[in-house]
Amino acid sequence: MKAGFYPKLALDGIRKNKQMYLPYILTCIGMVMMYYIIAFLQYSKSISYLRGADEIRWMFDFGGWVIAIFSCIFLFYTNSFLIRRRKKEFGLYNILGMGKRNIGRILFWETLIIALFSLGIGLIAGISLSKLAELGLVNIMMGDVSYNLSVSLTSVIKTTAVFGVIFVLLFLNSLRQVRFSSAINLLRSENKGEKPPKGNWFWGILGVLILATAYYLAMTIENPIAALEVFFIAVIMVIVGTYLVMISGSVLFCRILQKKKNYYYKPNHFVSVSSMVYRMKRNGAGLASICVLATMVLVMISSTTSMYFGSEDAINSRYPRDINMEYYMENADNLSDEKIAVLQSDISEVLENYDVEPENYYNYRCVSVAGLIKGNSVETDVSKANAITDMSGVRQFYFIPLSDYNAMMGTNETLGSEEVLIYTYRNDYKADTISFKQGNTFKIKKQLDELVEIGDTAMMVVPSMTIIVPDLKQSLKGLDTLLDYNGDKMLSYRWVYDFDTGIEADKQIELCREFEEANLDSYSKFENIGLYCESQEMEREDLYSMYGGFFYLGIMLSIVFIFAAVLIIYYKQISEGYEDQARFEIMQKVGMTKREIRRSINSQLLTVFFLPLILSALHLVFAFPIIRKLLLLFSLNNVILFVITTVMSVIIFALFYTLVYRITSNAYYNLVSGEK
């Protein structure tokens, strides 16, 4: 045979089946392009100059792995549609005398042509759009823009290697399917009916139970740490439950429709329901895949959008004032009124140099310790607490003296020697007393409804409890001797001073750095004192970098998943169109009109194809509480914003889904009606 015989056959096969291959090739190009852009952003020099660059690089490294793994799974899924369509052609080649080895050569050249074309065009598109993607990311992260175009050789090599491996695996899988099929089976592959899965009731009910369990976990979880632990388990349960319900449940659904004579024995319903039952196993799996992808898109877009547009709320919660100062002390003696007065005097001196009069200021002494709470008892000894694995009981406790509380809140509360006031954040406490095993037992006089915003509580991933005590030293007896694994004291002693300045952002940052760098004379009067000063304007860059990175990565991954969902819908319509073509030809010969064909197609749309959208919206509703708990870990507590972004995400995606289905259903109609 001539050297170009097999490449020519491969090209002819792609050209003659362009309706199937063109979307597949475009998707391969899109996957390559998106992976290169993600890899380019990971290694971008412009990103390395931004604050939080290490976190951004980690995010995009994770995003690259997600796209690589998803591309492999998804391209295997879509390639199965192509091979199913081509098996009849390969069977004919086999009968005419072409061996399996020769067919394998055709598959090799087809895979090689698609791989080279996809990698070449995908890399060109990725390189062309990489700068635009970089500018978008830097703009979202509020960084300085550079307009120098560059090509990342590392990203090119990485992209080529990843997709080279994927295409090799696709070729081997295609070869396997042809190698172990006889010529007769290849010829009849398109006409082979699908048997509904056995035990539909069992698997259907099991799927419902799995989904119900996942929903219950998502709805009842209270602790953000526990939410983080449960989230991935719930995700896996939802995916498994969705496939079981869609595959087995859709079979049951169609059988119920068949038993309803008033519904089933109508031309449009009869044809659509019968065709769905014929291929329900693949039909259910395809619908489940669309549902899972839609849910992933909705969760990512709604949560990352909430994070990005809720950045200001998070900043104000984490950094309550323009300048937020914390002096770390060695012991409670350094928190005496005399020594605090020395620190206030030094702060005033620096403020006078900057001509700043502090506004909306408050200050308080604070001692904090972590512990595990069970009932009304708290374990703070790490050697004993380590044996307890229930992370939902972890709390951060803050002790504030009553005098400081009254001063900053403008109240006149009084307490007995063993009485306390408590304020809970992200948790509830119902008992009348609270007992620290290594310390004192306190009687709770009152639970507070409000307290000044403590930046630490917003930043901590665990819930917190602020305890207002009559005297700091007396209340901490017993706890002040506790040591951690390193032999250091577990109690953290601090004096907090937060205030607004009324000056420009640059001056605020300069003032904060002045406090950090100044060698105050008063330090010699303290033992092991340290100052940590945070400026709201300074930290704004870090938060916008992190949230902007999540938002941008969410957009990129959503685009990839939307590509996948669109392609599944398209292939589903095209493959089913080819399968139904002969049946509809017979229907037309016995009197079925094109109008009735259109009505039958619309019936199928209303009966089945909106089920993934409805179920994904249901998943999102039940996932709302657990996602909200996870957002608390990022200091985002704006429920209204999250509700708005979630609703808008569902509406926009539903409109897009409807548009895509309408377009692809026209392709299905053209095939079965004989117009194409």
Round to whole Å and give the CA distance between 649 and 172: 39
This prediction has a pTM of 0.73
Greatest CA separation for the chain: 102
The pLDDT of residue 604 is above 80? no
pLDDT, position 272: 61
More confident residue, 385 or 227: 227
Round to whole Å and give the CA distance between 256 and 250: 10
pLDDT tens digits for 155-183? Answer: 999 999 999 999 999 988 888 877 766 65
When mean pLDDT is compared across 399-413, 431-445, 644-658, 662-676, the lowest value belongs to: 662-676
pLDDT, position 181: 65
Give the ranges where 477-535 is alpha helix by DSSP (H).
505-517
pLDDT confidence band for 463 (50 / 70 / 90)? confident
DSSP state of 607: I
The pLDDT of residue 265 is above 80? no
The pLDDT of residue 434 is above 60? yes
Amino acid occupying residue 506: D
Residue pair 391/461 in contact (Cβ under 8 Å)? The answer is no
pLDDT tens digits for 625-637? Answer: 888 877 877 777 7
pLDDT, position 450: 86
Instruction: Give the dihedral of Cα atoms 449, 452, 456, 460; nearest 10 deg.
Output: 20
Round to whole Å and give the CA distance between 276 and 272: 6
When mean pLDDT is compared across 11-20, 134-143, 213-222, the lowest value belongs to: 134-143
Amino acid occupying residue 458: A
pLDDT, position 120: 94
SS3 156: helix
Range picked from 81-85, 89-93, 287-291, 413-417 for highest mean pLDDT: 413-417
Average pLDDT over the chain, rounded to an integer: 80
Region 476-490: mean pLDDT is: 79
| Cα→Cα distances 87→77, 181, 234, 363, Å | 16, 9, 39, 77
Range picked from 296-300, 383-387, 547-551, 594-598 for highest mean pLDDT: 296-300
Count Cβ atoms below 10 Å from residue 446 Cβ, excluding itself.
Answer: 13
Round to whole Å and give the CA distance between 663 and 226: 44
The pLDDT of residue 600 is above 70? no
User: Which residues does residue 464 pair with via DSSP β-bridges, in sequence order?
Assistant: 396, 425
Amino acid occupying residue 61: D
pLDDT, position 276: 62
Residue pair 366/400 in contact (Cβ under 8 Å)? The answer is yes
Nearest to 444 by CA among 474, 424, 473: 424
Region 570-590: mean pLDDT is: 69
More confident residue, 124 or 74: 124
pLDDT, position 448: 92
Share of residues in the chain with pLDDT > 70 (%) = 78
Q: Which element (helix H / strand E) includes 86?
A: helix 53-95
**Residues 513, 515, 521, 525: is their CA dihedral positive or negative?**
negative
| Cα→Cα distances 421→179, 327, 414, Å | 76, 24, 10
pLDDT, position 344: 86
User: Which residues does residue 431 pair with via DSSP β-bridges, in sequence order?
Assistant: none
SS3 for 416-427 is CCCEEEEEEECC
pLDDT tens digits for 378-394? Answer: 988 766 655 445 566 78
SS3 622: helix
The pLDDT of residue 242 is above 70? yes
SS3 198: coil
Round to whole Å and give the CA distance between 53 and 56: 5
Enter the tokens of residue 90. Answer: 């390969």
